[in-house]
């Protein structure tokens, strides 16, 4: 077409565009057409294009390459289309939306060409080339077409070599971030990571202080920890053998896990100490990554390494560091990780509680031996009363009973000489708490034991039994019996100091015993008194509202008469069923059933879907006109020449507006979250046909709900009901603003509970619902046990006699 032609033809790209045809091409009387004008740049050339969004991207690229004004000389297969503003790759899934909002495009190298060039640059020895290549790789590695080519051409090996060859600097930081993005975005390609590479990352984490190095290094280790064989999805990738037969295998990257990483950081003495120290970092993202790695290690620790690993964390005061986070000013993005750590502490305590104390376990024998030796007493031999009774029998009735009995463990307060069997209720948790009490002040412990031995036997407080009872009371209070099931949505800093609280409560037990002048038969009475005080001090208000000094004062300085009077008033109001072991076991079972019921209900809400206010800004907006697309032409792209009209002119033609509503629905496989944006709410059909966009939930590393919503370009509604799906602390995949507190609770906890039974309950509404169902279930079960405590009227007033006999009894 020559410059004298009256206007552009609609038959193909070859007839498009000249300076004289531009005005006749952009028809100002047809806003639908104007809104679909996009700028396309190649090198120094820029044209205006009218792109049909219904056709494949490859057809668009092919016709753009054929346009003479761009001057493309290479084949279309070597090119790709990208968003000129954010460099996002344009594909069939997002092209229509970008055309609709008036995005500007650029014609650039295809992912295959970029991958080839990237692999070549990573092998370079020039520092500047490496730095620029790794910087660009951080973005490109998120794109599937590029990554597939990059992996095929050995790019991952080159990337790992770059990390191995650097000990500091931005190049190292960019390379680590690229590796992190690869591991978080794909379940293949990084199975070549070996122990030497993990050792390098561990070393960097300890030796480096730069945040941009420590962040990705921590994230890489976390991903390796959660990539064990037990974490592998049920269905893997489809592979073919040499004869074309397809088989399904689990991804090869699921071969690492806890022990793989643990073996390497065990060689780095300061690794765990460094990780715990960084929980107190000034950088919120580094705090989150460090705490997330510790949570992953606790959640995936193997059975044989559980005790040694958790003990090491306790020695490093990890719980103290997390308790400090509870009290300090913090971002909401840390809330979920703090609650998860709290849940892991409950799970670890539950595991210890279920570990039977045996005389064959070296740890248990060592603890018992230490407790005995620090008492600084000796065992005694006493006459056995049963021996005298045995003498009255003869023949086969006579039993082999010694004349004397050796007292050892009874002298420090056990009920029998089989000390290990006394920990049946509390297991290894009870023994470790007792050992911790002794270690805190061995001299005071020895003095206390001597004082008890100087008393008449019937007036002695059975110290060991008292310690076991206190452990049981605290375990009941914090619901340790439930294990991974915890409905606490508030911080429990004193739970993180279980041993120290046990120390205080045990001292309170001994003081109440002395002040009340208790005898051996009064042990249950003193236990009930202690249980009442624990409930009063730890349960009547949030733990974060108390200081440690206030807690100490409540247990060390409370008067016996005050505690006793309050307990009696409590007994008048409500009989203490919770103190009975059978009721506690019933509560644990019904709580688990209630949790699972609510979990299924919350996930069902996600499967049903719901409308939310869109707080993602105008990035997801659409055009104001929303007019129909013109389909007269068979051409994919209509273009106009550049030059006279720049980018701004075309931008004005595409007046995008913000769509305030977004509908979300969870896919049936529970792995993808589909959504669509709209200017107004309308009925959504079942299924996913009406929802073109989706979010891969496997990319969500953190769920944050905060009190300040993002700018919505309009009036804010319920700004405290915003849920953020975070891929990293500084990158949000989506933000949804619930319409009411109930919807906020359903979706917040529903998304958390998708992880399974380990999902953290984050909202008070869900926690209260679980607790209410539990209480109702307990009361219903108790109705089957007894008719006591049911109020019946003492007298019933008979109804008045009927005035006539004209009535009948209804069959109800």
Question: For residue 726, what are its two tokens?
Answer: 């975070």
pLDDT tens digits, 14-41? 333 433 333 323 232 334 444 578 899 9
Q: What are phi and psi of 503, to 5 degrees?
A: -60, -45
Identify the band that residue 589 occupies on the pLDDT scale cut at 50, 70 and 90.
confident
pLDDT tier for residue 70 given thresholds of 50, 70 and 90: confident
Average pLDDT on 290-315 reads 91
CA pair distance 430, 445, nearest whole angstrom = 17
Q: 587-619: buried (b, 16+ CB within 10 Å) or exposed (e) per residue?
A: bbebbbebbeebbeebbebbeebbbbbbbbeee
Residue 455: Cβ within 10 Å count: 11
Please state, in angstroms and rounded to a whole number, the distance separating the CA atoms of residues 255 and 127: 34
Q: What is the pLDDT of residue 789?
A: 54
Let me know the angle formed at the C-alpha of 780 by 778 and 782, rounded to the nearest 5 degrees: 70
Q: How many beta carbons lie within 10 A of that of residue 174, not counting itself?
A: 24
Long-range contacts of 56-65 (CB under 8 A, 24+ apart): 56/92, 57/81, 57/90, 57/91, 57/92, 57/95, 59/636, 60/95, 60/636, 60/637, 61/107, 62/636, 63/12, 63/13, 63/635, 63/636, 63/637, 64/13, 64/40, 64/107, 64/637, 64/639, 65/107
Start-to-end CA span in the chain (Å) = 90
**Could you give the CA distance from residue 14 to residue 8 in angstroms, rounded to a whole number?**
10
Spatial separation of the C-alpha atoms in residues 576 and 639, rounded to whole Å = 82
* Rama region for 617: left / alpha / beta (φ>0; ψ in -120 to 50; rest): left
Nearest 10 degrees: Cα torsion 691, 692, 693, 696: 80
Distance of CA 193 to the CA centre of its chain: 25
Distance CA 222, CA 200 (A): 15
Residue with more model confidence, 415 or 621: 415
Please name the residues in contact with 715: beta carbons below 8 A apart, sequence gap of 6 or more: none
CA contacts within 13 A on the Cβ side of 23: 3
Cα–Cα distance for residue pair 120/122, rounded to 1 Å: 6
Residue 596 confidence (pLDDT): 87
What does the pLDDT read at residue 780? Answer: 81
> What pLDDT, in 10s, does the model give residues 752-809?
888 654 567 878 888 889 888 988 888 887 766 555 555 666 667 787 887 888 777 6
Rounded CA Rg of the chain = 35
- Residue 248: per-residue pLDDT: 53
410-420 pLDDT, tens digit each: 999 998 888 99
Residues 303 and 258: beta-carbon distance below 8 Å:
no
Least confident of 88-97, 379-388, 545-554, 582-591: 379-388
Which residues, listed in sequence order, are joined to residue 406 by a DSSP beta bridge? 381
> Region 579-608: what's the mean pLDDT?
84
Q: What is the structure's pLDDT at 587?
A: 81
Please identify which residue in the block is written with the tokens 């008979």. Answer: 798
Closest to 671 in 3D by CA, of 717, 607, 735, 585: 607
Distances (CA, A) of 48 to 35, 79, 644: 12, 18, 11
Q: What is the pLDDT of residues 214-231, one digit of tens each?
A: 999 999 999 999 998 888
Residue 183: its pLDDT value, please? 93
Residue 201: pLDDT band by 50, 70, 90 thresholds? very high
Q: How many helices (H) and strands (E) does the chain have?
A: 30, 18
| pLDDT at residue 516 is higher than 70 | yes
Percentage with pLDDT > 90 across the chain: 38
CA 353 – CA 75 distance, rounded (Å): 69
Alpha carbon distances (Å) from 530 to 466, 554, 563, 570, 621: 10, 12, 9, 13, 61
The yes or no reply on domain 592-621+658-777 and CATH 2.30.29.30 is yes
Read off the pLDDT band of 657 (50, 70, 90).
low
- The CATH number for 112-316, chosen from 1.10.3720.10, 1.10.1040.10, 1.25.10.10, 3.65.10.10, is 1.25.10.10
**Residue 489, both tokens:** 């949505």
For residue 9, is pLDDT > 70? no
Give the pLDDT band of residue 653 (cuts 50, 70, 90). Answer: very low
Residue 811 pLDDT: 59
Best CA proximity match to 159, nearest among 179, 141, 186: 179
189 pLDDT above the threshold of 80: yes
Contact 635, 17 (CB under 8 A): no
How far is it, in rounded angstroms, from Cα 675 to Cα 620? 11
Give, in order, the Cα–Cα distances in Å from 691 to each of 556, 663, 666: 62, 8, 11
Average pLDDT of span 598-611: 91
Contacts of 691 (CB under 8 A, 6+ apart): 663, 665, 674, 675, 676, 684
Four-CA torsion 253, 259, 263, 265, nearest 10 degrees: 80
pLDDT > 70 fraction of the chain, expressed in percent and rounded: 78
Mean pLDDT value of segment 327-353: 83
Q: Exposed (0-12), middle (13-18) or buried (19+): which is 303, by Cβ within 10 Å?
A: exposed
700 vs 630, residue with greater confidence: 700
Phi-psi region for residue 398, left (φ > 0), alpha (ψ -120 to 50) or beta? beta
Answer yes or no: is pLDDT of 497 > 80: yes
Angle at 3 between CA 2 and CA 9, to 5 degrees: 65
Domain spans, the chain: 112-316, 362-387+403-579, 592-621+658-777
Q: Is the pLDDT higher at 809 or at 90?
A: 90
Distances (CA, A) of 30 to 38, 623, 635, 781: 16, 14, 19, 72
Contact between 377 and 449 (Cβ < 8 Å): yes
User: Residue 175 pLDDT more than 60?
Assistant: yes
- Cβ pair 277, 721 in contact under 8 A: no
DSSP states of 58-113: HHHHHHHHT-TTTT--S-GGGEEEEETTT-PBP-TTTHHHHHHTT--EEEEE-HHH
46 half-sphere exposure, CB direction, 13 A CA radius: 15
For residue 663, the surrounding DSSP H or E stretch is: strand 661-666
Name the band, by pLDDT with cuts 50, 70 and 90, for residue 632. Answer: very low
Instruction: Give the pLDDT mean for 303-310.
Output: 90
Average pLDDT, the chain: 80
Most confident of 198-202, 394-398, 683-687: 198-202
pLDDT by residue (tens digit) across 249-300? Answer: 678 889 999 999 999 988 988 999 999 999 988 888 888 889 999 999 999 9
Top-confidence residue, 526 or 781? 526
Q: Which of the listed ranges 475-484, 530-539, 573-582, 652-661 does the model predict with the highest average pLDDT? A: 530-539
pLDDT bucket at 101, cuts 50 / 70 / 90:
confident
Across the range 170-178, mean pLDDT stands at 95
Q: pLDDT band at residue 612, thresholds of 50, 70 and 90?
A: very high
Q: Distance between CA 567 and CA 561 in Å, rounded?
A: 10
Q: Report pLDDT for 631.
A: 35
pLDDT score for 236: 46
Instruction: Name the token pair of 733.
Output: 């995949």
**Could you tell me how many residues make up the chain?**
812
Residue whose entry in the numeric block shows the structure tokens 């770059």: 162
Are 510 and 461 a contacting pair, CB within 8 Å?
A: yes
Q: What whole-number distance in Å separates Cα of residue 109 and Cα of residue 80?
A: 6
CB atoms within 10 A of CB 172: 24
Distance CA 431, CA 464 (A): 9
Q: How far apart are CA 29 and CA 17, in angstroms?
A: 19
Q: Which residues pair with 237 in a beta bridge?
A: 249
Task: Kindly give, in sequence order, each residue whose CB lies less than 8 Å from that of residue 369, ignoring residues fewer than 6 positions away.
Answer: none
CB 156 within 8 A of CB 182: yes
Would you state the pLDDT for residue 245?
47
Regarding predicted confidence, which is higher, 317 or 656?
317
């Amino acid at each position: 077409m020559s410059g004298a032609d009256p206007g552009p033809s609609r038959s193909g790209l070859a007839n498009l565009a000249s300076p004289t045809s531009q005005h006749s091409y952009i028809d100002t009387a047809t806003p639908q057409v104007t809104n679909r004008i996009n700028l396309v740049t190649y090198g120094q050339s820029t044209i205006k294009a009218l792109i049909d969004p219904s056709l494949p991207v490859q057809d668009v690229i092919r016709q753009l390459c054929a346009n003479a004004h761009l001057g493309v000389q290479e084949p279309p297969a070597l090119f790709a289309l990208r968003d000129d503003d954010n460099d996002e790759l344009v594909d069939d899934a997002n092209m229509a939306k970008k055309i609709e909002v008036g995005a500007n495009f650029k014609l650039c190298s295809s992912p295959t060409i970029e991958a080839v060039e990237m692999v070549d640059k990573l092998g370079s020895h020039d520092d500047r080339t490496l730095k620029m290549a790794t910087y660009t790789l951080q973005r490109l590695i998120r794109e599937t077409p590029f990554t597939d080519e990059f992996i095929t051409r050995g790019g991952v090996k080159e990337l790992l070599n770059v990390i191995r060859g650097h000990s500091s600097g931005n190049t190292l930081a960019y390379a680590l971030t690229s590796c992190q993005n690869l591991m978080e975005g794909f379940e293949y390609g990084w199975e070549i990571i070996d122990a030497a590479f993990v050792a390098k990352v561990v070393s960097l984490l300890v030796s480096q202080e730069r945040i941009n190095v420590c962040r990705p290094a921590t994230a890489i280790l976390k991903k390796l920890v959660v990539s064990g064989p037990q974490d592998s999805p049920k269905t893997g990738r489809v592979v073919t053998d040499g004869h074309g037969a397809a088989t399904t295998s689990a991804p090869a990257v699921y071969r690492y896990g806890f022990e793989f990483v643990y073996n390497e950081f065990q060689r780095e003495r300061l690794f765990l100490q460094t990780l715990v120290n960084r929980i107190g970092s000034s950088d919120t993202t580094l705090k989150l990554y460090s705490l997330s790695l510790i949570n992953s290690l606790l959640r995936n620790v193997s059975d044989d390494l559980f005790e040694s690993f958790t003990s090491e964390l306790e020695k490093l005061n990890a719980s103290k560091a997390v308790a400090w986070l509870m009290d300090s000013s913090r971002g909401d993005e840390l809330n979920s990780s703090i609650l998860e750590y709290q849940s892991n502490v409950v799970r670890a305590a539950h595991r210890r509680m279920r570990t039977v104390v045996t005389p064959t376990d070296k740890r248990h024998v060592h603890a018992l031996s230490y407790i005995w030796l620090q008492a600084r007493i000796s065992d005694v031999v006493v006459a056995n009363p049963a021996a005298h009774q045995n003498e009255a029998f003869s023949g086969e009735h006579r039993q082999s009973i010694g004349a004397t009995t050796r007292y050892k463990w009874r002298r420090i307060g056990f009920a029998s000489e089989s000390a290990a069997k006394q920990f049946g209720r509390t297991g290894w948790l009870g023994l470790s708490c007792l050992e911790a009490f002794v270690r805190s002040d061995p001299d005071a412990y020895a003095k206390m034991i001597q004082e008890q031995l100087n008393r008449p036997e019937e007036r002695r407080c059975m110290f060991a039994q008292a310690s076991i009872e206190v452990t049981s009371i605290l375990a009941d209070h914090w619901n340790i019996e439930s294990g991974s099931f915890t409905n606490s949505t508030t911080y429990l800093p004193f739970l993180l100091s279980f041993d120290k609280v046990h120390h205080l409560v045990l001292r309170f037990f001994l003081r109440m015993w002395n002040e009340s002048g208790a005898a051996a038969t009064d042990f249950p009475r003193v236990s009930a008194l202690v249980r009442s005080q624990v409930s009063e001090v730890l349960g009547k208000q949030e733990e974060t509202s108390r200081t440690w000094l206030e807690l100490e004062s409540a247990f060390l300085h409370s008067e016996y008469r005050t505690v006793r009077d309050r307990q009696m008033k409590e007994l008048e109001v409500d009989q203490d069923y919770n103190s009975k072991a059978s009721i506690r076991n019933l509560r644990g079972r019904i709580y688990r059933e209630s949790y699972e019921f609510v979990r299924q209900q919350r996930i069902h809400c996600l499967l049903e879907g719901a409308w939310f206010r869109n707080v993602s800004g105008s990035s997801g907006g659409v055009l104001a006109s929303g007019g129909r697309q013109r389909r007269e032409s068979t051409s994919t792209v209509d273009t106009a020449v550049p030059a006279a009209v720049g980018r701004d002119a075309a931008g004005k033609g595409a007046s995008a507006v913000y769509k305030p509503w977004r509908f979300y629905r969870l896919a049936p496989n529970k792995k993808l979250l589909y959504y669509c944006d709209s200017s107004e709410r309308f009925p959504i059909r079942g299924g996913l046909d009406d929802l073109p966009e989706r979010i891969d939930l496997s990319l969500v590393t953190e769920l944050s709900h905060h009190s300040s919503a993002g700018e919505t370009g309009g009036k804010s509604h319920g700004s405290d009901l915003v849920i953020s799906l975070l891929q990293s602390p500084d990158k949000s995949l989506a933000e949804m603003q619930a319409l009411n507190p109930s919807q906020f609770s359903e979706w917040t906890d529903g998304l958390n509970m998708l992880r399974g039974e380990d999902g953290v309950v984050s909202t008070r509404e869900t926690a209260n619902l679980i607790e209410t169902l539990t209480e109702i279930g307990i009361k219903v079960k108790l109705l089957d046990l007894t008719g006591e405590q049911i109020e019946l009227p003492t007298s019933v007033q008979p109804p008045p006699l009927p005035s006539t006999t004209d009535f009948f009894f209804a069959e109800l």
